[in-house]
Amino acid sequence: MQPCFMKFCRLLCFAFSSPFYLLQFIGLRGMYKRVFPFLAYNVTFSYNDKTHKLKRELFRNLGRFANADGTLRLLEIGCGSGANFRFYPYGCTVICTDPNPHMEPYLRMSMEANKHLTYDEMLVLSGEDMREVEDESVDVVVCTLVLCSVNNVERVLQEARRILRNGGALYFLEHVVSDPSTWTHFCQYVFEPLWCLLGDGCMVTRATWKDLEAAGFAELHLKHIEAPEVSLMIRPHIMGYSIK
């Protein structure tokens, strides 16, 4: 009996060491994946209101990366419920990707509300593995509030570079870890396990700007900002774009 008991104890420790394994262990992971899209859809309205000016500034020069005939083919990694659609230019063709298939009903609602865009398809896939998307097939890749929750940031950025045409751009808006001298930094590390559990894997202690700097893009336009009126845990942000 003792070996079985020790094995059970190790399993408990492993399960509770990660929010993902905790949910899996108690049988709630599948249910949460269904519930999270509803929560995300409603939170989107609040976040968009608070970051409206930031997003308008971020996407204001998207047209710069259009083709000679005026077409612009854009792929969004982790598009969720389509929170960014309103900021994309008229006539832009959008390819939606998200690893959670339960996002689709909320995504369709955003599509109906943003008919100034053309929608290509929705692909259920992760940012780390976009093999269904051809090399150098899009003009712009967008990644907002996504790199905080992916398993491998470096791999996502490699995939973004692969599918971008030469001269295309990756646009990003991500919350990041705060300066080590701040109370925010302390709180991020203390409360990250709970935040990750409730936020579908969202990590608040990532220095994502370092990954962008090392990703091998020809140009990087990045700035650190404080997002207005959002939770202290995700107030430090980076925004900008990288050109291939």
Q: What is the CATH number of the domain that holds 112?
A: 3.40.50.150
Residues with Cβ within 8 Å of residue 64, at least 6 apart in sequence: 169
Give per-residue pLDDT as tens, 173-222.
999 999 999 999 999 999 998 888 777 789 999 999 999 999 999 999 99
State how many domains the chain has: 1
Structure token digits, residue 201:
């894997």
Predicted confidence (pLDDT) at residue 152 exceeds the cutoff of 80: yes
User: Roughly what angle, to the nearest 10 degrees, separates helices 29-50 and 52-59?
Assistant: 80
Report strand pairing: 93-97 vs 118-123. parallel
Residue 43 banded pLDDT, cuts 50, 70, 90: confident
Q: Quick one: average pLDDT of 46-62? A: 93
Query: In the prediction, which pLDDT does 181 show?
Result: 94
CB 163 within 8 A of CB 170: no
CB 204 within 8 A of CB 234: yes
Domain extent for 23: 1-61+69-241
CB 34 within 8 A of CB 105: no
